[in-house]
Structure 1
Amino acid sequence: MSREPNNPFSGASSTEISLIGSIAAALTKLGAPYVVAWCKYFSPQPVVCAGGLLFGVASVLASFGKRLWHFQLAQGLLIGVATCLSSMPSMAVPPSWFGKHRGLDMGIISAGTGIGGLVGSPTLTACLQNIGFRNTLRLTGCVCTVLICASGAAMGWEPTMATRTHEDNRAQSWVSGLAKVPFPPRRIVVTRKFLAQGLNSVFQSAAYHTPIFYIAAGANFTALSNACNAIGKVGVGFVADKIGRMDSFFLTTLLSSVSTAGLWVPSTVAGGSSSAGKGLFVGFTVLYGLLASAYIGLFSPALVELFGMENMPRITGIMYFLQGAAGFVGTPVAGVLVRPLGGNLVSETRIQNPSN
C-alpha cells in the first residue's frame, strides 16, 4: 500500500510501517508484570476479556485512520496493550495445569498463533482485495473480540494454584492488587540462572521479530512460515518432554541462530533472481519457523524447570518484560540498518507469489 497513492501509507518506508508491529510486539510483553499480577488478584477471565474488548475497539478506531501515526497509535499502542492483556495469561496460567507433558501441552497452546496466521493470512488477503482495508479492520476487530472473550471465559488457575493466589490476595487491598507488581524474591534474582535466563530473554527477543517484520514475500509464503511455526511448537514440545525441556530449549535456540547465518545471509549474497538464492531463502523460512517459534512454546516450561511452579507468576512477568524491552529496541534498530537496502533486509531475495 505504501506504493499506492491516496492512502495513509503512501510514501512511507517499510521501517516506518513496521514500527506499528514493533510497538505492538513490545507492548505485548512490556506489560506482562502487571497483567500476570492482575491475573493473580482478579483471576484471568476478566483480564483476558478486557483485552478482547480493547482489541475490537482499537481495530475499529484504526479503520478510521487518516495518517500513519493514527495506525501507530491504534494498531501499535492500543492493540499492543490488548494483546498483552489477552495473551500473557495464556502463557502464565496453563503451565500450572500440566506436569509430565508440559512441553507438548504448551506447544499445542502456543501453536494457535501459527494456525491463526496460516488461516488468517490468505483470508485477510481476500478481505483486503474485496472489501478494502478499513472494512477488513472492522471485521477482524469484531471476530477477534468474540474469540478472545470466549477463550478467556474458559481460563482459570489450577485449583492448588488458585488456593495459593487466594491466600496471597487476602493480605492486599484492591488498590494494591491493581498497582503492585509481585517481584521475584531477592534470593532468586541474585542467582546465576536468573541472570542467565534474563540475558537469554533480552538477546532472543531483540532479534526474533526481525525476519517477521522485514521479509515481505506474499500471503502464500507467509502461510508457509506460519504452518512451520505451528508444527515446530508442537513437535519440539513433544521432543522436549522426552529428552528434557532445557536441552530442547538450548538446541532450538542454537539451531535457529545457525539457520540465520547459514541460510539467510547466503541467500542475500546469491540474490533473489537465482534459484540458489530462492532455495536458501525458502529453507531458512522453514527452519526458522520450525525452530525459532518453538522458543515461545518452551519458554514457560523452561521457567518452571528453573524456578519452580510456586515462583512462576513472579518470574514470568519479569522475563516477558525483558523480552518486550529488548524487542522494542532490536527491531527498530534493524530497520535503521536495512535502510541502505531500500528498507528491506533482503530486498533482493523476495520470493513472489506463484500468481506473479
Structure 2
Amino acid sequence: MSDPPLPDDQLDHHHHDDATGKPSTLHQVTVVASGALVMFTTCAFVFTYGVYQSLYEEMAKDPTTTTPFTGASTAQIGLIGTLAIAIMSMGGPFAMLWSKLYSPQLVIIAGGWICGLALILASFGRHLWHFTLTQGVLLGVGTCLAYVPTMSVAPPWFDKRRGLAMGVIIGGTGIGGMVWPPALRAMITHLGFRNALRITGCVALVGVSAAGYTLRWEPRFQDQVRLQMRGHSRSSWGWMKVPLVNWRVARSRRFVSHALGCFLQSAGYSTPLFFYVAYARALGYSNATAANFLTVNNAANFVSRIVIGWCADRYGRINALVVTTLLSAVSVLALWLPSTFYPGSVSGAGAEGLFIVFTILYGTFASAYISLFPASLIELFGVQNFTSVNGALYLIRGIGAFGTPLTGLLIPQSTALSSPGVYERASITVGVLLFAASVACFWVRIEATLGAAWKWKA
C-alpha cells in the first residue's frame, strides 16, 4: 500500500534551506535560468518582429509578384506585431487567474504550445489577415500565458537580489534579441520565411515546455494564493471570473501613478523596436546590416538589465525606474529625432552616427521598465495584493501598446524604406510619451515615501 500524497507545502520544502527557511540557492538559480529560457523562446520572437516588418514591407512593394502583403500599408503590417505585444500584456489578468486556479507550470507550458502552433500556422498564411490572426493574436495569447506567470512566479523567490534576478530573467529576451535577428535573416535568405516561422515555432514549443515544468509558486506565497482563491470555483465560469484589484488599492495615488506610467511607457516603447530595421534601410544600410541594429539594441538591452537590476537592488528599484525611463526619453529626442533631419541639416555620416548611439542607449535604458516595475510591486502594494495589481498593470500595458500602430500611421508606407525624414513625427511622439512616463514614475517615487521620513533609496 503506497503512502498518501504529501500536501504541496511539504512537497516543496526541499526548495528551501531548512536552517533559514529561505529558498535554496540552487532553486533560485533554476528559477532564473528557466525564466530566461521562457523569455528567449517567446518574448524574443515578439520583440524581433522588426525583421518580419521590414521583409513584409518589401513584399508589399514588390510589383513583380503577388504576395500575402501586396498593397498592405506600414500600419497594417505593424499591426501584426502590435497585436502580439498588446495581447501578451492585456491577457495578464486571465493568465494570473489560471495560474492561481490550476498551476503556473500548466499555464506556462500551454503558452509554449500555443506560441509554437501560432508560428507554424503562420507559415501557411496566404492572406494578410492569416498573419494577423496567427503571428499577431495567437502568438500574443501564447506569449501572455508563458510570460506573465513567469514574471509573477519569480519575484517571491527572491528578497535582496530581486531586481538582479528579474533583470537576468527578462535578459533572456535580450539574448534572444541578439541571436534571433541574424538567425532569422539567415533562415529567411536560405530557407524562406515560411520555414523560418516553422523552425522558430518548434523551438518555442520545446523550450517553453521544458522551462515551464520548474516554474512553481514559492511555498509561502502559495499559501497566500490559496487564501485568495478560497471559494473560487474551477467549474462553471469560475475560470473566467478575474479577481478585481481591491478598490482601496485601485483608487490609491500609488496605483494611479503606476498605472499611468505603465500605459504611457508601453504606448511609446515598442515603436523604435518595430522600425529599427526599416529605419536603418532608409539610412541606406543593406538588409543584413539593418537587421544587426536589432542585435546591437538587444546586446545593450541584455547587459544593462543585469547591471540596472543590480543597481536597483542597491540604490532603489523605483529610483532606477525613474532614471531609466527619463534617459530613454532623452535618447529618442536627442539622438533619433535629429537623425531624421538627413538629408538636410544633418549629413549622412552624422545621421548614421546618431542612430547607432541611439540604438545602444535605447536598448540600455528603455526596456529596463519591463523588469523593474514588477520588482517594485511587493514593496508598494504588499504580498497580498501583488498578483491582482500585477495582472491589472499588465492589462493596462497591453492597452497602451496600441500606441505603436497609431504612431505607425504617421509613417507613409511609400517612403518608409527610403526616406529618414518621414520618421520625424513618429520620433517626436515616442519621445513625448516616454518623457510623460518618466514624470509618472517620479510621481510613484513621491508616493512611495509620502508620510514617512525621506530616504534616498526607494
- TM-score, length-normalised on structure 2? 0.73
Which of 363, 376, 382 in structure 2 is aligned with 1:302? 376
CA pair 348-190 structure 1, distance change in 2 beyond 3 A:
closer
> In structure 2, what is the equivalent of residue 212 of structure 1?
273
From 161, 166, 173, give the equivalent of 2:233: 173
Structure 2 distance, partners of 1:344, 1:88, is: 34
Judged with a 3 Å threshold, the aligned counterparts in structure 2 of structure 1 residues 154 and 265 are, in CA distance, closer, same or farther, namely same
**Judging changes above 3 Å, is the alpha-carbon distance between structure 1 residues 41 and 206 closer, same or farther for their aligned structure 2 residues?**
same
Are residues 1:200 and 2:261 paired?
Answer: yes
Q: In the alignment, which residue of structure 2 is the partner of 1:159?
A: 219
> Which residue of structure 1 aligns with residue 404 of structure 2?
331
Partner AA of 1:188 in structure 2: V
| 2: CA distance, partners of 1:346 / 1:246 | 39
CA deviations over 1:282-337 (Å, ceiling 9, x no partner): 11111100000111111111222211222110100000100101112x11110111
Provide the rounded CA distance (Å) in 1 between the counterparts of 2:362 and 2:116.
Answer: 31
Question: How many residue pairs align between the two structures?
Answer: 349
Query: Structure 1, unaligned stretches of length 5 or more?
Result: 351-356
- Structure 2 letter corresponding to 1:198: A
Q: 1-10 or 80-89: which moved more?
A: 1-10
Q: Using the alignment, how far apart are the partners of 1:53 and 1:319 within structure 2? A: 25
Is residue 339–residue 420 contact of structure 2 (8 Å, CA) maintained in 1? no
Residue of structure 1 equivalent to 2:338: 266
Alpha-carbon distance between aligned partners in 1 of 2:245 and 2:316, rounded to the nearest angstrom: 25
- Decide which of 66, 75, 97 is 1:37's aligned counterpart: 97
Q: Distance in 2 between matches of 1:342 and 1:302?
A: 42
Q: Choose the corresponding residue for 2:308, options 236, 246, 254.
A: 236
What residue in structure 2 maps to residue 251 of structure 1? 323
CA deviations on 1:193-248 (whole Å, 9 max, x unpaired) are 11111111111111101111122232212110111111121111011111111101
Contact 1:37–1:177 (CA<8 Å) still a contact in 2?
A: no
AA in 2 matched with 1:184: V
Answer whether contact 2:118 2:134 (CA < 8 A) is retained: yes
Q: Secondary structure at the match of 2:340?
A: helix
1:290 to 336, 352, 364: 364
CA distance in 1, matches of 2:380, 2:356: 35
The structure 2 residue matched to 1:134, chosen from 190, 194, 197, is 194
Displacement, 1:11? 3.5
Question: Mean alpha-carbon deviation: is it higher for 337-346 or for 37-46?
Answer: 337-346
Structure 2 runs not aligned, ≥5 long = 1-57, 281-289, 424-458
AA of the residue aligned to 2:264:
F
TM-superposed deviation, 1:348: 5.2
Q: Quick check: 1:338–1:345 contact (8 Å CA) kept in 2?
A: no
State percent identity of aligned pairs: 44
Structure 2 match to 1:115? 175
After TM superposition, what 4+ stretches of structure 1 lie above 4 angstroms from structure 2?
Answer: none
> Are the structure 2 counterparts of residues 111 and 59 from structure 1 closer, same or farther at C-alpha, using a change threshold of 3 Å?
same
Root-mean-square deviation (Å):
1.9
Q: Per-residue deviation at 1:273?
A: 5.6
Tell me the CA shift for residue 12 of structure 1: 2.5
SS at match of 2:351: helix
Q: How does 1:78-93 map to 2 (within 5 A)?
A: 78-93=138-153
Q: Is the 8 A contact 2:74 2:413 kept in 1?
A: no
Q: Distance in 2 between matches of 1:340 and 1:132?
A: 24
Distance 2:309 2:202 in 1: 32
- Deviates most, 40-49 or 159-168: 159-168
**What is the rounded CA distance, in whole Å, between the counterparts of 1:243 and 1:95 in structure 2?**
18
1:93-133 residue CA offsets vs partner (Å, 9 max, x unmatched)? 10011111111010000000010111111111111111111
Deviation at 1:168, TM superposition (A): 3.1
> Equivalent residue for 1:354?
none
Q: Note the C-alpha offset of 1:169.
A: 2.8
1:353 is matched with: none
**Greater relative CO, 1 or 2 (CA 8 Å, sep 6+):** 1
How far residue 277 of structure 1 moved from its aligned partner, in angstroms, is 0.9
Q: Does 1:51 pair with 2:99?
A: no
Shift of 1:338: 1.8
Q: Structure 1 residues 199, 341: closer, same or farther in 2, change over 3 A? A: farther
Greater C-alpha radius of gyration:
2
TM-score by length of 1: 0.93
